[in-house]
Amino acid sequence: MTGAYMLDFAVYKPPAEFKMYVEENTQFQLKVVRKSGLDVDGTYLPPAIHPSIADEPKTDMKTAMLEAEMVMCGAVSDLLEKTGTWPGTGWGLQTPREGGMLPGAQGIKPEQIDILISNCSIFCPTPSLASMLINKFKLRRDIEAYHLGGMGCSIGVVAVGLVRDMLKAHPNSIALFVPAEITTYCFYPGRHKDFLVANAIFRMGGAAMLMTNKPSLYSRCKYELQYAERVHTGQDDASFKCISWGPDEDGINGVFLGKDVPVEAGKMLQAVIAKVTPKIMSWGQYAEAAYWMVGKKLLGYDWGRYVPDYTKCMDHFALHAGGYAVLKGIQKGMSLPMEMMLPSFASLRDMGNTSSSTTWYSIAYMERFGMVKQGERIMQGARC
């Protein structure tokens, strides 16, 4: 066990007028959207690149910062509103509650936060987004603050492990983690299809969560972090090059998504699942694995690799909603029934690929419909 607990979390939901209707987009992007699992009746884009709001897309630093403030401050405001100490935006997806506030994180004030970690892969201004949050919420002068960039969709889960390590180094502390991707700055106005795909699938969104190792808060926490595992496949050239930010052959910056992304994501998934599986298996599954090994190694049976029934290890799955093909690949690799995939597919449908915050939208979906009960376990992650 890690000794790290999550007090509460919130995800940002943009206002209805920011919905993006794909009929307004190009034929190529419409084709991609229809295959990707996004709702064709509208996910969300910021006003600066929204075809119904902006005459011409604006992707400058100042405009991107407006989106960052809207999304990241909106998520943090909604999170603090759930604790009863801050006026929220009213846009966050709230957990159903009886009689007002949840008992989870009541009374956590901004000045009580000891550690801040923010992330945005591509938009990394100066001052940093972490500094922007410190300024907006007037966090303490001695706060341990860090901003992470360039790590893509994975950081929304990977940084949870970093928060765990920070809490180990700082006992009796509260940490705030704010993952987001700023679509204004990532918008690609060029003509190359490997770059245009990102315009079609990436959407506006972000999240915020409070984690702690304060013994006095344990009884008020919603979740306990049991395991945090990661695998880095950057040693492999194909994996390293399949996603990148930079100029196309015309010199126009954009997010490049190679055709081999699903293949490389599959390799990563297989590696990380192999690493985490022994830690989550039940005793009965260990016995099954031993029987499998005896039959294969000693008796020569032509059995494949042992794969446990993950629905007996975990109660819920919040998997990276990177696209329809990505989720179907994860579903096949883990042999999960469709009902276990519903929160992830719903997150993709309703919000699109929100990069580092996708899995948090999936957990918010579970909570909104009362799917998570006390004592149940959630597997979160499997990201590229």
Residues 306-358 pLDDT 10s: 889 999 999 999 999 888 888 888 898 889 999 999 999 999 999 999 999 99
Out of 120, 153, 186, 384, pick the active-site residue: 153
The yes-or-no answer on residue 316 being catalytic is yes
The yes-or-no answer on residue 153 being catalytic is yes
Residue corresponding to tokens 């915020």:
208
Q: Is 247 helix (H, G, I), strand (E, B) or coil?
A: strand
pLDDT per position as a tens digit, 80-104 = 988 876 666 543 333 333 333 344 4
The yes-or-no answer on residue 25 being catalytic is no
User: Mean pLDDT over residues 183-209, rounded?
Assistant: 91
Rounded to the nearest integer, the mean pLDDT of the chain is 86
pLDDT-derived band at 40, boundaries 50, 70, 90 = low
Q: How far is CA 301 from CA 235, 298, 306, in A?
A: 35, 8, 13
Task: Measure the CA dihedral 163/108/83/318, to 10°.
Answer: 10
CA distance 152 to 141: 29
Task: Tell me which residue of 310, 325, 321 sits closest to 383, measured CA to CA.
Answer: 321
Q: Is 289 helix (H, G, I), strand (E, B) or coil?
A: helix
- Domain positions in the chain: 1-384
CA distance 73 to 278: 39
The yes-or-no answer on residue 147 being catalytic is no
Q: How far is CA 179 from CA 39, 174, 272, 301, 308, in A?
A: 23, 17, 21, 47, 32
- What percentage of residues in the chain have a pLDDT greater than 70? 88
Amino acid 382: pLDDT: 62
20 close to 42: Cβ distance less than 8 angstroms: yes
Span 1-384 CATH architecture: 3-Layer(aba) Sandwich (3.40)
Out of 232, 242, 253, 313, pick the active-site residue: 232
334 close to 344: Cβ distance less than 8 angstroms: no
Out of 186, 253, 353, 384, pick the active-site residue: 353
pTM over 0.85: yes
The yes-or-no answer on residue 313 being catalytic is no
Amino acid 306: pLDDT: 84
Instruction: Give the highest mean pLDDT range of 80-84, 130-134, 186-190, 232-236.
Output: 130-134
pLDDT at 189 over 60: yes
CA distance 39 to 299: 51
